[in-house]
């Protein structure tokens, strides 16, 4: 790690984004990832999310029946189970 932490109090530090090569204020960078600017990071995140959504939609369309079955099973698992044959209702004395 060649990065040296010299506290420049009150002075704005500029860094170069490793992706868009633009020199920006350190405020335009997130702490992590530190090498690319916020704009590049947000773009990358947006692309990643869109790609993931598209891939899932594609996967669902290819395996539609399996997806439906799994969806139904998951929904049933999350819903409170109706109590069948539960002894001791309000009518029981
Ligand atoms: Zn950038």
How many domains, the chain?
1
The residue segments making up the domain with residue 40 are: 11-77
84 in a domain, yes or no? no
d(CA 45, CA 26): 20
d(CA 66, CA 62): 9
Residue 67 CA, ligand 1 centroid: distance in Å: 39
85 in a domain, yes or no? no
Residues, Cβ < 5 Å to ion ligand 1: 17, 19-20, 37, 40
Question: 23-25 and 14-16: which strand pairing?
Answer: antiparallel
- Whole-model pTM: value is 0.57
Residue 41 CA, ligand 1 centroid: distance in Å: 7
Q: How far is CA 43 from CA 20, 23, 47, 65, in A?
A: 11, 17, 6, 34
pLDDT digit string, tens, across residues 16-66: 999 999 999 999 999 999 999 999 999 999 999 999 999 999 999 999 999
Number of alpha carbons in the 13 Å side-chain half-sphere of residue 63: 8
83 in a domain, yes or no? no
Q: What tokens appear for 4 in the block?
A: 């040296």
């Amino acid at each position: 790690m060649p990065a040296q932490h010299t506290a420049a109090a009150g002075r704005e530090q500029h860094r170069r984004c490793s992706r868009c090569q633009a020199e920006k204020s350190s405020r335009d960078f997130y702490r992590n990832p530190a090498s690319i600017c916020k704009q590049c990071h947000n773009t990358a995140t947006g692309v990643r999310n869109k790609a993931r959504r598209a891939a899932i939609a594609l996967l669902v369309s290819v395996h539609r029946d399996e997806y439906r079955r799994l969806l139904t099973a998951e929904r049933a698992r999350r819903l409170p189970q109706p109590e069948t044959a539960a002894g001791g209702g309000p009518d029981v004395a």
